[in-house]
Amino acid sequence: MPKYLTRAVWLLSLISLFTDLASEMLYPVMPLYLQSIGFSVFFIGLLEGVAEAVAGLSKGYFGQWSDRLGRRVPFVQWGYGLSALSKPLLAVLATPAWVLLARTLDRLGKGLRTGARDALLSDETTPADRGKVFGFHRSMDTLGAVLGPLAALGWLAAHPGQYRPLFLWAFVPGVVAVGITLVLRERRAMPSGRPVVPFWASFGYWRQAPPAYRRVVGGLLVFALFNSSDAFLLLLARQRGLSAPTVIGFYILYNLTYVFSAWPLGHLADRLGPRRLLVGGLLVFAGVYGGVALAHDLWAFGALFALYGLYAAATEGVGKAWVSTLCAKADTGAALGTFAGLSSLAALVASTGAGLLWQWYGPLPTFGLAAAVALGVAAYLARVRVGMVRA
């Protein structure tokens, strides 16, 4: 077993696997379920955007709190606990306010754990292996995102249209994930000593961040402003005539591609540098969004969902690995939490805007605009000046 796959890396990866299994039992089903009970595309986009914004605000805040205390594990434990608790709540009522509450609780849990978890992963590795570690973690995380939809697909095949029991079943792997967090240990980090600022000021790190961090994260945030929720891809496939099981099947294909490519692409990022992987991933995204706006055939959607998995594998873990090299080590939680937080706030704009654009003009301009912005950001990141600022 490679030395960089430490006990903590394995445990964090298994925790993410079971949590994603629980979440992804519901994620591809959620937009189809909400639309089936009369929710509009705009509300689905708003729901996803608000939930991600809550996660965004809490990521920056709890990332700084984790740095101040020099502690990571308690944030991980409570964060995964809240996410597990949110699953059965979705089975209680199907009103917009209740769905929003349960979805927000899930995202609050994600915000509570994300900065601390990513800082734990970063502390467990060296710059030479950082891409491999984050890539391995994303592969395990996304393996759960394959098993979850498979479980949902099996349930719906046996019980067509019976969505609500899935929300109760999803509680089981969530509890397993929480149990694993109880045996997680950490190396005590040096407390930053900085005061914890309130939610609305939790992105103060941006002002003190190195210029390279602001340049790279700034470009990624422009892209995030137009990168709407994946729920729109699922809704488009359904609108184009694909059955609900077929849509979930393509979502599984997306995650399978992600699983098998995230770790190898993490290795490639360590050899070639994260910039090239990110630029390549954004170019793939532009191709997928440009293609899906015009696609109608089954084979076309299958190919585009597979390519979408390559895009995700080339950008998500690699992006975090790159950003973590553009800050001082003591600021890792705040830097990664601020990046994730601002990205989530941008997702509120992206998903709400996409819902409105779709409702007014249809899917073609919605996906076409995102593809054009991705091309522009890829060109910018290919030339932006950066440096390594670890200390």
Tens digit of each residue's pLDDT (9 = 90 or more) over 68-85? 777 888 888 999 999 888
When pLDDT is cut at 50, 70 and 90, the band that residue 241 belongs to is confident
Q: Is 356 exposed, middle or buried (0-12, 13-18, 19+ CB in 10 A)?
A: middle
What is the per-residue pLDDT for 375? 95
When pLDDT is cut at 50, 70 and 90, the band that residue 370 belongs to is very high
- Tokens matching residue 192: 């930053």
Domain boundaries, given as residue ranges, for the chain: 7-191+198-381
pLDDT of 201 > 60? The answer is no
Q: Higher model confidence: residue 42 or residue 337?
A: 42
What is the per-residue pLDDT for 194? 67
pLDDT of 196 > 70? The answer is no
3 state DSSP class of 355: helix
Identify the weakest region by mean pLDDT among 231-235, 267-271, 308-312, 370-374. Answer: 267-271
When pLDDT is cut at 50, 70 and 90, the band that residue 264 belongs to is confident
Cβ pair 204, 337 in contact under 8 A = no
* CATH of 7-191+198-381 given 3.40.35.10, 3.60.15.10, 1.20.1250.20, 3.40.50.2300: 1.20.1250.20
Q: Residue 163: how many CB atoms within 10 A of its CB?
A: 22
- Tokens matching residue 212: 């390279």
pLDDT of 199 > 60? The answer is no
Mean of the per-residue pLDDT values of the chain: 82
Most trustworthy range by pLDDT among 30-44, 116-130, 157-171, 246-260: 246-260
Residue with tokens 């095949």, as numbered in its chain: 157
Q: d(Cα 313, Cα 250) in Å, to the nearest integer?
A: 16
Distances (CA, A) of 45 to 41, 205, 351: 6, 29, 5
Cβ pair 148, 25 in contact under 8 A = yes
Q: d(Cα 372, Cα 340) in Å, to the nearest integer?
A: 23
* Rg (alpha carbons) of the chain, rounded to whole number: 20
Q: d(Cα 193, Cα 20) in Å, to the nearest integer?
A: 33
- Which pLDDT tens digit goes with each residue over 118-147? 888 877 777 777 777 877 887 788 788 788
Nearest to 304 by CA among 279, 287, 283, 282: 287
What is the per-residue pLDDT for 132? 76
When pLDDT is cut at 50, 70 and 90, the band that residue 31 belongs to is confident
What is the per-residue pLDDT for 369? 93
What is the per-residue pLDDT for 286? 95
Distances (CA, A) of 113 to 12, 16, 35, 103, 233: 11, 11, 30, 16, 27
Q: d(Cα 83, Cα 112) in Å, to the nearest integer?
A: 10
What is the per-residue pLDDT for 197? 60
pLDDT of 390 > 70? The answer is no
3-state secondary structure 36-48: HCCCCHHHHHHHH
Q: Residue 162: how many CB atoms within 10 A of its CB?
A: 10
Q: d(Cα 274, Cα 314) in Å, to the nearest integer?
A: 9
Cβ pair 119, 349 in contact under 8 A = no
Residues 165-187, mean pLDDT to the nearest whole number: 87
What is the per-residue pLDDT for 288? 94
Q: d(Cα 54, Cα 217) in Å, to the nearest integer?
A: 20
